[in-house]
Amino acid sequence: MVSRPPIVLAIGGSDPTAGAGVQGDLRTIGQLGAYGVCALTSVTVQDTCGLSTRQDVAAELLTAQLTALAGDLRIATVKAGMLGSRANVEAVARFLDRHPRLPFVLDPVLAATAGGPLLDADATAALIAELLPRATVVTPNLPEALLLTGRPAGDDRAAEPLARDLAAAGATAVLITGGHRPGGEVVDLLFDGATVHRLPTPRLPIAAHGTGCALAAAIATRLAFGDALVAAWAAARAHLIARLRASLPLGHGQRLLP
């Protein structure tokens, strides 16, 4: 009998460059040997130089996508990225209510690196109240962690108190990625509610579009294969570093991950 790959559900926005968003997630999931399915939350208009506009999908249409997929396929893990609107945040929360045992990786996408909001201002509060408590792991970078905890930027550059704040807000585990902090090393920090783990890697002189999406999607994929969280995180980091090294300047702006 043919062995079936685990199925990972990516919920997120469309990125026409395919570097980030659901297109990037499906590539990450496939590269790691799982089968990716997706539910679209928003259509963005962007190229490697930046984002110009977006139109969010109606929450009813998002719910219909999620219901159709879950009714047909045996989903192993869920990854959510860009959600766009408050109504879409709530639609994802209701979906997770109906599937409470599904491991859920929440990448709290607030804005594009190149500028442009990817989550409405009034949706951030809903994401904190409704999705953080359902997250197996939430994966903010440092600026996102500062915004989610309400700490002023520059007030506290240390990731550990931010991770503890986000765990107190309900996330089972918190991974704060270190790429946005200065220094010769990138230090990711994972707090699993009991222990603080640190994963230092040398900083590559390479930046690319969609690295946050790629890391979170890879973690969701390794969790779908049954890895424990710390092992999933290490495998996801290694996969991302290999892709960063192989990233390509295909457009006029940010490099794209293969």
Residues that bind ligand PLP (CB under 6 A): 12-13, 15, 20-21, 44, 81-82, 109, 112-114, 118, 209-213, 254
**Nearest distance in Å: CB 51, ligand PLP:** 6
β-partners of residue 79 are: 10, 105
Pick 110 or 132: Cβ nearer ligand PLP = 110
The whole-angstrom separation of Cα 222 and Cα 225 is 5
Residue 50: other Cβ atoms inside 10 A: 14
Pick 178 or 210: Cβ nearer ligand PLP = 210
Residue 235: other Cβ atoms inside 10 A: 17
| Residue length of the chain | 258
**Nearest distance in Å: CB 107, ligand PLP:** 6
Pick 81 or 103: Cβ nearer ligand PLP = 81
Pick 20 or 75: Cβ nearer ligand PLP = 20
Amino acid at 39: A
**Nearest distance in Å: CB 114, ligand PLP:** 6
2: which DSSP letter?
Answer: P
Pick 21 or 192: Cβ nearer ligand PLP = 21
The two structure tokens encoding residue 47:
């190229």
The whole-angstrom separation of Cα 16 and Cα 19 is 8
**Nearest distance in Å: CB 17, ligand PLP:** 8
Pick 112 or 189: Cβ nearer ligand PLP = 112
Which residues, 6+ apart, have CB-to-CB distance to 169 below 8 Å? 128, 132, 133, 148, 149
Contact 54, 84 (CB under 8 A): yes
Pick 45 or 199: Cβ nearer ligand PLP = 45
**Nearest distance in Å: CB 3, ligand PLP:** 31
**Nearest distance in Å: CB 135, ligand PLP:** 16
β-partners of residue 254 are: none
**Nearest distance in Å: CB 193, ligand PLP:** 25
Contact 164, 156 (CB under 8 A): no
The whole-angstrom separation of Cα 145 and Cα 159 is 8
